Amino acid sequence: VLTGPHGTGKSHAARAIHDLSPRRARSFVAVDAGVLAHEDAELLLFGRDPAAGSAGLSRTGLIERANGGTLFLDG
């Protein structure tokens, strides 16, 4: 957990930790937590289940994109 006031470099620190970790070859996904207040936040994070219909469209969520890597929630 990285904490601190806005503008203190938490995202740079998170990226440096990721780059120095065994997960460095996997994805680093940064998300501005402000978008989580949006009505589509669940879709953004978890994606859409292809079995749920929705005209056959599937969408990968950010959690799945970060699988094996790092998901950084900023703000």
What's this model's pTM, rounded to 2 decimal places?
0.75
Residue 9 main-chain phi, psi, to 5 deg: 95, 25
Contact in structure between 70 and 11 (CB atoms under 8 Å): no
Mean pLDDT of the chain: 86
Of 70 and 36, the structure prediction assigns the larger pLDDT to 70
Amino acid at 57: L
Of 59 and 47, the structure prediction assigns the larger pLDDT to 47
DSSP 35-50: GGGSTTHHHHHHEE-G
For residue 75 the two structure tokens come to: 């703000």
Span 33-60, mean pLDDT? 75
